[in-house]
A and B are shown apart, each in its own frame.
Chain A
Amino acid sequence: MSASVAKEKSMVIQKEMIANHFKALSTAKETGKKVVYTFVPGNISELILAFDMLPVYPEINALQSGMRKKSDGFIQDAEKIGHSEDVCTYVKCDVGMMINGNIGPTGEKIPPPDLLLLSYTGCFTFMKWFENLKRLYPGVPVAMLHTPYQEDKQIKPEMTQYMVKQLKEEVIPKMEQVSGVKYDEEKLKGILRNSSKVEDAILRIFDTTKNRPSPIDAYFAGVYYIGPINSGFRGTAEAVNYYEELYSEIMERVRLGLGPITPEGEMEKERFRLVVEGPPNWTHFREFWKLFYDFGAVIVASSYTKVGGVYDMGFRVDPEKPLDSLADYCMNCYTNLNLEQRIDLLEQCIVDYKADGFLVNSIKSCNSFSAGQLMIMKELERKLEIPVGLIESDLVDPRYFSYSNIKNRLESFFQMLDQRKIILKQ
C-alpha cells in the first residue's frame, strides 16, 4: 500500500460544494430560501433548483450520522418514542436527529422543511417516513410524486403520463405556492442540459473500471463520486465541473497504470474484481472497506451507485422534454427496476467489467434492496457460473455490524475466488 493520501483536486471541490450547501441551509431563514426535504432515488433536484429552493436529503443526513458515529444514539431515541427495532434504521436515525435539534452532519442546524416532496420511487418506506415527518412538522405541505414500478421491464406511456400529470398538477403548484416563484420551463431546460452532461460524465467515470488495474473502487469510492448527484447538484454547473475534473484525474491514473486510492493510500495489487449489490454499511465504513482492500479486492461495479439513477442502459434526460424526462429518470432508478432487470444489469456489469465474483451486502433495514437478493444470487450463479457470496450488515445501526462475521465470510469467499482462478488456469 502506498503511503501518500494526498487530496485530489476533485475531492477538494466536492468538499467545498457540500460545505457551501450546508452553509446555505443553515442560513436559509435569513436569506429567505425555502427548504425542500426529499429522497435520493427519484430525486427531482432539477425542479427544486428551478424554484430556487434548497434540497435536504434525510437519507444523506442519516448516512452521515452513521459515519460520524451518531446514529446509534439517534436510533435509540427514536425507539424510545415508539419506533420498532425491526424497521428501516434510516428513518429512525432521521427522526432521532430531528428530536435532538436537527443538527446536521456538518454541525450546523438543518432548517425545518417548507415542503416535503415525497418522491416515492422504489421504496415504500419513503411514504411511511414522510407520514411520520408530516406529524413531526405539522402544517408543512406534502407533495406526493408516485413513481410506478417497472414491473413489466418497461416504461409504458400511461406511466409517464401519470407522472407528468402529478408533476403538473400536484408537485409544481405546491412548489410555486411554497417558493412564491412561477414555474419557468426554460430555466428547467437549462438545468437539465447540465444534468445530461453530468450523466455522460458519470457513465464515463464508472466505465473506467474496465481497465486493469481498475483505477477506482466503484463502491467504496463510488459512494463519494455519486455524492454530488445525489445531494442536489445534478443540474448545476458545479457538478459539471466536478465530474469533468474527477474524470480527468481518473484518466490520469489509467495512463499511469495505477489502482484505486483507499484511505490508506494506493491499492497496489488488484487480486479480485467484484460486483457488489446492496448499500454499504456506514457505521464502520472504513473498517468495512479495509476488509476488501487488504485482500486486494476492488469493486468494479455496484448497484448502490445507481440508486439515484441508472445511466448504463442508455437513459439520458432530454432537456427539450423536461417533465417527461424527470418522470422517466425517476422510473429508471435502480430500486424501481424489477428483479429481472436488476439481474440483467448486474449480469452486464459482471461481464463488461470482467468480475471474478459477485457479492451481496444484505442490509437488515432495507427491504427495498434486500427482498429478492437471494434470488438474484441464485440467478447470476446459474447464468454465469460465477462465485457468489453474501454478507450481512446494516446501514446505520451499529448493533448489526459484526466485524468478525463479515471477515470470516469474506475470507471464505476470497478463498473460493482463488480456487476458481486456479481451476480456470488449468
Chain B
Amino acid sequence: MESLNQLIKKCEELAFDLDFTRAKQWKSEGEGRVLVGHMPIYFPREIVHAMNGLAVGILGGGDKKQIIRGDAYYQSYICHMPRGIIELALDGHFDGFEGFLFPSICDVIRNLSGMFRILKKGKFVKYMDFPQNFQKHIGGEFYKSELMEIADKISQINQVEFSVERFNESIQLFNKNRQLTNTAYNLRKEAPWKISAAEMYSVIRAGYVIPVEEHNEILEKLIELVNAAEGVPQDKIRVQVIGAFCEQPPLSLIRTIELAGCYIVEDDFLLGSKWIQGDIEADTSDPVGAIVDAYINHSTFSSTVYDVDDPKEYRMLELFKESKGDGIIFAAPSFCDPALLDHPILQSACDKNGIRYISFLFSENTGQFKVIKEQAGTFSDSIKLWDGDMVGLK
C-alpha cells in the first residue's frame, strides 16, 4: 500500500500539473467525453459529470507559470490570477477542452470570459450568472435555466441526452466526495500535526483535475493513512485563514504560515470543494432542482455572495469557534476587491469579539516570504505568550 508521503506526492503532481495530463488522458479513454474548464470559486460539477464530461478546475498558473504575454492583457493593478490563466490559454494548455465556465464572482473574471470568447477558446464559453436572489422561485429558477443551458451546450457537443438517473448517480458521487473531504478536513482540525495544511491542500486540489471517482479513492486512502499516523503535537497556535478563496496562495506560503508557528485549522482555500454544506438530494425526479436547492439553501458564505440576510461575520465566527481557533489570518490576493472589501466587516467583528488577527496580501506567484513569516511568527508568539497555556493542544 502507498505510504502517506507517496499519496501526497502523487496528489501534488496531479494538482499542479498545468498540462492537465490526467484529465486529457481520461478524455481519450472513452467516446463522447468532454472537458469543461471552470474558474473559481464554485461550480456544480455534477452537471458536467452527468453529461459524460469532466469539470476541470482552472485555478491559475500559480508560481509555476512564467508570465510573458499575460501582462499585456492586464494592467498592473489587477490581481494576478487572470494573467496566469490567459498565459495558459495562449500557450495551449487548455487545448482539448471543449468548454469554459466562468462563475460570476467579480468583474475581473467576468471580463476574462469575454477574452476567452474573443480568443475563441473551446467550443463554448459561458459566464455563469449565479443568482444573488435566494428565493427558490426567483433566483432558483433563474439558476436552473443557467444550469440547463450548460447541459444543453455539452449535449450539442457529445449528443448525450439528459437523464435523471445519471444526474442522481453523479450527485451521489459528489456527495461522497464532499463527505470524504469534510472527514479529511476534520481529521486535520483534530490533529493538525498528522498532516500539514500544505499536504492537505494538494490532496484536495488534486480533486479539481481528476475524475471524482478517482479522487474519492484517494480520499479514502488518505483518511485511512492519517488515522493510522501518529505525529507529535507542536506548540503552535490554531489559525483560520480567510480571503484566499479565488486566487490561490502558493504552496510555500501555506508552508510558511505553518512553519511560523501556526496550524491552519480552517481556511477558504479551494472553497468550491466545500461550498455545499451537507448532501444534495440524490434520489429525486428533479436532480437539477436538487442542485439548485442546495445552492440556494446550503451554500457556505463567501465574499462573492450577497449576504445581507445571513451576515458573513457571524458565519466566520461560528467557524472560528468550531475550529477552536486562536486567531485569524486575513490573507487576500492583492487588488482583490471582493476579499478586501470584506476586511473591514470581518475585522470589526473580530475586534468586537476579542479575536486577534493579522492581515497581509499575496499573489499566486509571491516568491518572498520573509515578511509574512515574521508577521505570522510574531502573531503566533504573541498569542502563545498572552494566552498562557499550550494552545496547540486545546
**Residues of chain A having any CB pair with chain B under 8 Å:** 81-84, 86-88, 91, 118, 120, 123-125, 127-132, 134-135, 142, 144, 146, 148-149, 151-152, 158-159, 161-162, 165-166, 169-170, 338-340, 342-343, 362, 364, 367-368, 370-375, 379, 392
A127 with B306, Cβ < 8 A, contacts A87-B340, A135-B345, A373-B75 known: yes
Helix, strand, loop or mixed for chain A's interface?
A: helix
Q: Is the CB of B129 within 8 A of A371?
A: no
Q: Is the CB of A86 within 8 A of B131?
A: no
6 additional A-B residue pairs with CB within 8 Å, beyond A86-B340, A144-B306, A146-B139? A127-B306, A152-B126, A161-B141, A338-B114, A367-B108, A375-B114
- The answer for the CA separation of A41 and B126 in the assembled complex, in Å, is 23
Q: In the complex, what's the smallest C-beta–C-beta distance from A282 to chain B, in angstroms? A: 18
Q: Is the CB of A367 within 8 A of B341?
A: no
**Neighbouring A residues of B105 by C-beta, 8 Å:** 124
The 9 A-B residue pairs whose C-beta atoms are closest, nearest first, are A339-B114, A372-B111, A128-B341, A151-B127, A82-B344, A162-B142, A146-B132, A84-B340, A367-B107
A-B contact list, 6 entries, CB within 8 Å: A86-B336, A159-B142, A162-B133, A367-B108, A367-B335, A372-B115
A146 with B118, Cβ < 8 A, contacts A88-B337, A362-B75 known: no
Task: Name A125's closest neighbour in chain B (CB-CB).
Answer: B337
Residues in B321-350 with C-beta less than 8 Å from chain A = 332, 334-338, 340-345, 347-348
Q: In the complex, what's the smallest C-beta–C-beta distance from A245 to chain B, in angstroms? A: 37
- The answer for the CA separation of A343 and B119 in the assembled complex, in Å, is 14
Task: Name A83's closest neighbour in chain B (CB-CB).
Answer: B344
Asked if B72 CB lies within 8 Å of chain A CBs, one says yes
Q: Is the CB of B347 within 8 A of A124?
A: no
Q: In the complex, what's the smallest C-beta–C-beta distance from B122 to chain A, in angstroms? A: 15
A87 with B337, Cβ < 8 A, contacts A131-B345, A166-B138 known: yes
Q: Is the CB of A131 within 8 A of B127?
A: no
- The answer for the CA separation of A422 and B13 in the assembled complex, in Å, is 58
A371 with B112, Cβ < 8 A, contacts A81-B344, A84-B343 known: yes
A367 with B118, Cβ < 8 A, contacts A144-B306, A372-B111 known: no
**Neighbouring B residues of A338 by C-beta, 8 Å:** 113-114, 117, 127
Q: How many residues of B contact A (CB 8 A)?
A: 53
Q: Tell which of A151, A367, A375, A392 touches B106, judged by Cβ atoms closer than 8 Å.
A: A367
A144 with B132, Cβ < 8 A, contacts A131-B308, A362-B75, A374-B74 known: yes
- The answer for the CA separation of A144 and B111 in the assembled complex, in Å, is 23
Task: Name B105's closest neighbour in chain A (CB-CB).
Answer: A124
A367 with B345, Cβ < 8 A, contacts A86-B77, A149-B110, A162-B142 known: no
**Neighbouring B residues of A342 by C-beta, 8 Å:** 114
Asked if B303 CB lies within 8 Å of chain A CBs, one says yes
Q: In the complex, what's the smallest C-beta–C-beta distance from B369 to chain A, in angstroms? A: 20
Asked if B104 CB lies within 8 Å of chain A CBs, one says yes
**Neighbouring A residues of B306 by C-beta, 8 Å:** 118, 120, 127, 131, 144, 146
- The answer for the CA separation of A120 and B347 in the assembled complex, in Å, is 25
- The answer for the CA separation of A239 and B315 in the assembled complex, in Å, is 46
Q: In the complex, what's the smallest C-beta–C-beta distance from B89 to chain A, in angstroms? A: 12
Task: Name B131's closest neighbour in chain A (CB-CB).
Answer: A146
Q: Tell which of A129, A142, A370 touches B308, judged by Cβ atoms closer than 8 Å.
A: A142
A131 with B113, Cβ < 8 A, contacts A146-B131, A162-B138 known: no
Q: In the complex, what's the smallest C-beta–C-beta distance from A300 to chain B, in angstroms? A: 25
Q: Is the CB of A128 within 8 A of B337?
A: yes
**Neighbouring A residues of B344 by C-beta, 8 Å:** 81-83, 132
Q: In the complex, what's the smallest C-beta–C-beta distance from A390 to chain B, in angstroms? A: 8
**Neighbouring A residues of B337 by C-beta, 8 Å:** 86-88, 124-125, 128, 367
Asked if B304 CB lies within 8 Å of chain A CBs, one says yes
- The answer for the CA separation of A169 and B127 in the assembled complex, in Å, is 26
- The answer for the CA separation of A132 and B139 in the assembled complex, in Å, is 23
- The answer for the CA separation of A367 and B72 in the assembled complex, in Å, is 16
- The answer for the CA separation of A153 and B335 in the assembled complex, in Å, is 28
Asked if B162 CB lies within 8 Å of chain A CBs, one says no
- The answer for the CA separation of A374 and B117 in the assembled complex, in Å, is 15
Q: Is the CB of A340 within 8 A of B114?
A: yes
Asked if B135 CB lies within 8 Å of chain A CBs, one says yes
Asked if B314 CB lies within 8 Å of chain A CBs, one says no
Q: Is the CB of B113 within 8 A of A371?
A: no
* A-contact 0/1 string along B344-385, CB 8 Å cutoff: 110110000000000001000000000000000000000000
Q: In the complex, what's the smallest C-beta–C-beta distance from A359 to chain B, in angstroms? A: 15
Q: Is the CB of A144 within 8 A of B133?
A: yes
Task: Name A372's closest neighbour in chain B (CB-CB).
Answer: B111
Asked if B307 CB lies within 8 Å of chain A CBs, one says yes
**Neighbouring B residues of A372 by C-beta, 8 Å:** 111-112, 114-115
Q: In the complex, what's the smallest C-beta–C-beta distance from A33 to chain B, in angstroms? A: 24
A165 with B341, Cβ < 8 A, contacts A82-B348, A371-B78 known: no
* A-contact 0/1 string along B120-162, CB 8 Å cutoff: 0000001101011101011101100100000000000000000
Q: Is the CB of B139 within 8 A of A86?
A: no
**Neighbouring A residues of B107 by C-beta, 8 Å:** 123-125, 367-368, 371
Q: In the complex, what's the smallest C-beta–C-beta distance from A379 to chain B, in angstroms? A: 6
- The answer for the CA separation of A372 and B83 in the assembled complex, in Å, is 11
A148 with B75, Cβ < 8 A, contacts A125-B341, A158-B145 known: no
Q: Tell which of A151, A166, A373 touches B113, judged by Cβ atoms closer than 8 Å.
A: A151
Q: Is the CB of B129 within 8 A of A151?
A: yes
A170 with B133, Cβ < 8 A, contacts A375-B114, A379-B118 known: yes
Q: Is the CB of A124 within 8 A of B304?
A: yes
Q: In the complex, what's the smallest C-beta–C-beta distance from A276 to chain B, in angstroms? A: 16
A371 with B82, Cβ < 8 A, contacts A123-B107, A134-B308, A339-B117 known: yes
- The answer for the CA separation of A146 and B113 in the assembled complex, in Å, is 19
Q: In the complex, what's the smallest C-beta–C-beta distance from A402 to chain B, in angstroms? A: 14
**Neighbouring B residues of A144 by C-beta, 8 Å:** 132-133, 306, 308
A375 with B118, Cβ < 8 A, contacts A148-B129, A149-B129 known: yes
Q: In the complex, what's the smallest C-beta–C-beta distance from A234 to chain B, in angstroms? A: 24
Q: Is the CB of A149 within 8 A of B340?
A: no
**Neighbouring B residues of A339 by C-beta, 8 Å:** 111, 113-115, 117-118
Q: Is the CB of A370 within 8 A of B340?
A: no
**Neighbouring B residues of A83 by C-beta, 8 Å:** 340-341, 343-344
**Neighbouring B residues of A370 by C-beta, 8 Å:** 75, 77-78
- The answer for the CA separation of A86 and B361 in the assembled complex, in Å, is 10
- The answer for the CA separation of A417 and B129 in the assembled complex, in Å, is 41
Task: Name B339's closest neighbour in chain A (CB-CB).
Answer: A84
